Amino acid sequence: MEQYHDLIKHVLENGTEKHDRTGTGTKSVFGHQMRFDLSKGFPMVTTKKVHLKSIVYELLWFLNGDTNIQYLQENGVRIWNEWADDKGDLGPVYGHQWRNWNNEEIDQISDIIETLKNNPDSRRMLVSAWNPSVMPNTNKPFSENVANGKAALPPCHAFFQFYVADGKLSCQLYQRSADIFLGVPFNIASYALLTMMVAQVCGYQVGDFVHTFGDAHIYSNHMEQVELQLSREPRPLPKMKLNPEVKDIFGFKFDDFTLEDYNPHPHIKGAVAI
Ligand code: THF
């Protein structure tokens, strides 16, 4: 995971102090790219312990088209609590756009799987969570936006594209806004996992996960944490095993994922900016 450490160092050295919506303050750069060859191990940060359980349940929740946090809470996942209304709703966020864009029965995930199986040279294999018609009004509380049919938050990982060459499936994500300490380790593992799942159900080997950033920032209250992390030596990457029986992208269950040889340094706590 040198790519991740290089990103932290790059932002510390070249970033600009910048104010942000949450009022926390950040150091930020605009535009950056990382690439992970998924055949070389599962790209999970090793210089702090990352909570895979939250990542897997969140991804299954996105794929189910679910946008209420009840399912996450039932499985002990708290990462979306801050933004939900009192019924647990987040409005039309990721899952809704992936599976049911504008309530028009547009299922981008099923469409992509179809295209990957039948026309893998296509240059149109994109999934967009970025939907201008549901953008929230920043001056209003999350719950009021949700009550008005808007998303609680605009998507951070906005859209992604698949690519097949030499029998290998690659995926590139454009992330418009990236919380480097807390969110990015989650985002890398989540899309790496999604790429592996799509590759398995479509019959491809895994290629690269390419992670492209817009505003990549370190929050001012994460500075000590990232310094501690940089002082640690990265360890060998773990391996992710998927249950090979699953051939339907919507058929995966939590127990179908097994992470092997993950020996991270201890967890580092950090507050999430809301
Ligand atoms: N807002 C901000 N400020 N940062 C983000 O990373 C972020 N997201 C999602 C939406 N808004 C965001 C939410 N994803 C954690 C991890 C991911 C999140 C939100 C919070 C978090 O607190 N992680 C802790 C605890 C892990 C756990 O309990 O499982 C950690 O130490 O990793 C990015 O898409």
- The predicted pLDDT at position 257 comes to 98
Q: How many CB atoms lie within 10 A of CB 85?
A: 18
- The predicted pLDDT at position 90 comes to 97
Residues 6+ apart with CB under 8 A from 163: 125, 169, 170, 171, 172, 207
pLDDT at residue 264 is higher than 90: yes
In the chain, where are the structural domains located? 1-260
CATH superfamily to which 1-260 belongs: Thymidylate synthase/dCMP hydroxymethylase domain (3.30.572.10)
Q: d(Cα 88, Cα 269) in Å, to the nearest integer?
A: 25
- Asked if residue 65 lies in contact with residue 100, where contact means CB atoms within 8 angstroms, the answer is yes
Q: How many CB atoms lie within 10 A of CB 105?
A: 8
Query: What is the pLDDT of the chain when averaged over all its residues?
Result: 97
Is 35 a known ligand-binding residue? no
Banded pLDDT at 64 (limits 50, 70, 90): very high
Strand partners, 161: 126, 172
**Span 206-217, average pLDDT:** 98
Report which protein residue has its CA nearest ligand 1's atom 18.
79
The three-state secondary structure class of 159 is: strand
Q: Is 177 in the pocket of ligand 1 (CB under 6 A)?
A: no
The three-state secondary structure class of 53 is: helix
Cα(36) to ligand 1 centroid in Å equals: 21
Q: d(Cα 261, Cα 227) in Å, to the nearest integer?
A: 25
Count of alpha carbons within 13 angstroms of residue 102, beta-carbon side: 9
Banded pLDDT at 80 (limits 50, 70, 90): very high
In sequence order, what E strands does 118-238 have? 126-128, 157-165, 168-179, 205-219
Query: For the segment 125-176, what is each residue's pLDDT rounded down to a tens digit?
Result: 999 999 999 999 989 999 999 999 999 999 999 999 999 999 999 999 999 9
- The predicted pLDDT at position 1 comes to 87
Count of alpha carbons within 13 angstroms of residue 214, beta-carbon side: 10
What percent of the chain has a predicted confidence (pLDDT) above 70? 100
Structure tokens at 196: 């592996």
Is 263 a known ligand-binding residue? no
Report which protein residue has its CA nearest ligand 1's atom 6.
183
| Catalytic hit among 12, 79, 126, 156 | 156
Structure tokens at 165: 């060459």
Query: For the segment 234-247, what is each residue's pLDDT rounded down to a tens digit?
Result: 999 999 999 999 99
**Span 75-99, average pLDDT:** 97
ipTM over 0.90: yes
- The predicted pLDDT at position 189 comes to 98
Query: For the segment 25-53, what is each residue's pLDDT rounded down to a tens digit?
Result: 999 999 999 999 999 999 999 999 999 99
Is 171 catalytic? The answer is no
- Asked if residue 8 lies in contact with residue 214, where contact means CB atoms within 8 angstroms, the answer is no
Cα(54) to ligand 1 centroid in Å equals: 10
Is 5 a known ligand-binding residue? no
Kind and range of the H or E run holding 73:
helix 70-74
Q: Is 51 in the pocket of ligand 1 (CB under 6 A)?
A: yes
Residues 6+ apart with CB under 8 A from 87: 68
